[in-house]
Structure 1
Amino acid sequence: MALAFFIAMIVLLTELMLWVGYSQIASLAYIVYLNIFKKEDLVNQRKIKRAILTVRQELARTSPQDEFANWARLKRKLDKKVNELEKITASFGYLKTSFEVKFTSFLWVASNGIQIILMLYFLSTPVFYLPQGWFSPVTWIFSMPFSPSGSVSVGFWFLACRKMVKKVMVTYKDSVPLYYYYAPDSVKRLVTIVHQWCNARVRIYLPVVIAWSKTMLQWCNANIRTHSPIIIDRMKLQVQKIYALILEVIKSTQSSAVNEQSKSSVDATTGTN
């Protein structure tokens, strides 16, 4: 039953990704990616935006007739900051497009590739056996294409799980309008409060989780760089030991072959005598 549960979880995750949308998941992943790997660029962008607002306020307070030199200096500074912001925004736009395309492709390949690999690997493996006598005229349908008779094949179990998950999602979509129509106002207010509370907690703890993830990545990279020479040395020692063992086996086989040849020659000479 472990295989059946594993397949059901894979189908559930795949259908949830389809229901939410690959683009939405890619957008969330892009935000996480920016906060982990492009934190400095984000901070720089925010600084430039604040600087632009400050310069614009100063420029609005400066008269071009009375303080033309100061006004021109602020204008040049504003143009420079705006150009920097446009460059950063354009680079972020290109990065977002390429990241979302790659991440969406990865999600599609991963979700469909895992299913294809499982179906090919467990092509003739039964997921579970049906009770004897159940669906007796059409039992062979559940075991198609190559599973034993009386069992449920991986392909059929994938199909059944997908149909079940889609039915549940359709039922949920149909029940949401009924909830908004029939639910009391007190329940609606409570759900709204809970939703706002969850959003607030996500905004509070998401930077903490991102910072922790970044710290863990740095720690893993540092440990890999520190321990990789030790691991390589150990692997070299193991390879040398295996090589020495192989040489010993070859020498022993050669010596045994020489001994057998000498024995056979001695036996041949004694036989002739």
Structure 2
Amino acid sequence: MVSLIITIFAITFVTSLVSWIGQAVLLEFVYNLYLRAFDPSGSSKRRKLQTEILQKKAELLQTSAQDEFAKWAKLRRSVDKSLTDLNKLNGETAANKAAFSLKFNSVIWFMTTGVQFVVGWWYRKSPVFYLPPGWFGPLEWWFALPFAPKGSVSVGVFQMACKRFLKIGERVVKDVYQKYHSEPRKGTDSPTPSKVVEKEL
């Protein structure tokens, strides 16, 4: 029974954590780790190519198309080829990221929503814990919905309670964080006119 309580709370906490951080933020973070671990040459190649393009463009701007046409034309062709290579590399990266994103979102869905459904269905008739007899009167049947024994708390109801608890906790943390950062700290004076001028300069 205790293990079931911990399992349900852990699953609900992970789901809430994903929601707090944001799935897009997690995707970027995990994808960057994936590139560093499995494709470090791709990122370095892209950065090297971008640097080369900037250098060649700067040299091209300093070269006269009339006085040094041969050199200018050679630089122009080199810049165009590098841009084509970069666009091709970016296209491959975008395709790889789209495929990675599909797999990542599938894993996240299974670890959160999917696991909640599986646990809720598997333990649909199991009580998470029993309520003290007579404490909630006729409401006892509601805590047992849909299939748990009367007088107990079902998995579905306990999941709802965990979500509500974590939602309140999130709100409290945000309020404390905003209050802490909105209050002026001790020892900080309001900026004097001289400091404002120095900042503007």
Give 1:91 shift: 2.1
The one-letter code sitting in structure 2 at the alignment partner of 1:119 is: G
1:199-225 CA-to-partner distances (Å, cap 9, x unmatched) read: xxxxxxxxxxxxxxxxxxxxxxxxxxx
Secondary structure at the residue paired with 1:82?
helix
- In 2: Cα distance, 1:147 partner to 1:125 partner: 6
Q: Does 1:80 align with 2:78?
A: no
- In 2: Cα distance, 1:163 partner to 1:186 partner: 40
Give 1:68 shift: 2.1
Q: Under a length normalisation based on structure 2, what TM-score does the superposition of the two structures give?
A: 0.81
- In 2: Cα distance, 1:159 partner to 1:57 partner: 61
Further displaced range: 64-73 or 159-168: 64-73
Greater RCO, 1 or 2 (C-alpha within 8 Å, sep 6+):
2
Give 1:157 shift: 0.7
% identical equivalent positions:
36
- In 2: Cα distance, 1:122 partner to 1:93 partner: 42
1:26-54 CA-to-partner distances (Å, cap 9, x unmatched) read: 22222222222322221211121122122
1:42-101 CA-to-partner distances (Å, cap 9, x unmatched) read: 121112112212222332343333332222212211111111111111222233334324
Alignment of 1:230-245 (within 5 A): none
Distance 1:114 1:183, change over 3 A: farther
**Equivalence for 1:15:** 16
Higher Cα Rg: structure 1 or 2? 1
- Cα RMSD for the two superposed structures: 2.3
Greater fraction of residues in helix: 1
- In 2: Cα distance, 1:21 partner to 1:146 partner: 34
**Equivalence for 1:67:** 68
Further displaced range: 155-164 or 26-35: 26-35
Structure 1 segments (4+ residues) deviating >4 Å? none
- Gap runs ≥5 in structure 1: 188-273
Q: Under a length normalisation based on structure 1, what TM-score does the superposition of the two structures give?
A: 0.61
1:149-192 CA-to-partner distances (Å, cap 9, x unmatched) read: 332211111111011111212233334332232252679xxxxx
Secondary structure at the residue paired with 1:62?
coil
- Gap runs ≥5 in structure 2: 189-201
Alignment of 1:15-164 (within 5 A): 15-164=16-165
- In 2: Cα distance, 1:119 partner to 1:43 partner: 46
Q: Is the 8 A contact 1:23 1:100 kept in 2?
A: no
Distance 1:66 1:185, change over 3 A: farther
**Equivalence for 1:5:** 6
Secondary structure at the residue paired with 2:64?
coil
1:113-133 CA-to-partner distances (Å, cap 9, x unmatched) read: 101110111111111223344
Between the two proteins, the alignment pairs up a number of residues equal to: 187
- In 1: Cα distance, 2:154 partner to 2:12 partner: 15
Q: Is the 8 A contact 1:129 1:152 kept in 2?
A: yes
